[in-house]
Amino acid sequence: MTHAADTTSKPDLEPDVSDRPKSELDPGWLVVCWNDPVNYMDYVTHVFQVVFGWPRHKAEFHMLQVHHQGRSVLTRETLEKAEHYVHQLQHYNLHATLERAE
């Protein structure tokens, strides 16, 4: 059965996304690394440098945060990038998760 094309104009139900604040479009995702009893501190520092391209001092800062506080928020990204980082960290056997940013 063939229907005639609807020529009536329908109202826009969704406002233009360019009018929305960035925080509404993408609230962001946090990449979190958790402490574990397995990996050495030098190894964790090295992985952070490789995955994020960080200088040693920044990687060490986050490694020490993981070691002393049990976790460190490494970065805030779009969901796609955050998932990518989490998978990379997990590939290196680090305990990493993502959380929705508030």
**pLDDT (tens digit per residue) in 41-82:** 999 999 999 999 999 999 999 999 999 999 999 999 999 999
Q: How far is CA 4 from CA 39, 59, 64, 85, in A?
A: 66, 63, 67, 49
Please give the structure tokens belonging to residue 66.
Answer: 């993981």
What pLDDT, on a 0 to 100 scale, did the predictor assign at position 15? 47
Does the pLDDT of residue 10 top 60, yes or no?
no
What pLDDT, on a 0 to 100 scale, did the predictor assign at position 20? 47
Does the pLDDT of residue 38 top 80, yes or no?
yes
- Residue 3 pLDDT class (50, 70, 90 cuts): very low
Strand partners, 34: 71, 95
N-terminal to C-terminal alpha carbon distance within the chain:
50
- Other Cβ atoms within 10 Å of 85 Cβ, number: 19
Please give the structure tokens belonging to residue 91.
Answer: 């590939």
What pLDDT, on a 0 to 100 scale, did the predictor assign at position 102? 84
The alpha helices in the chain, defined as continuous H runs, are 22-25, 41-52, 56-69, 79-91
Domains of the chain: 26-100 (3.30.1390.10)
Please give the structure tokens belonging to residue 61.
Answer: 């800062």
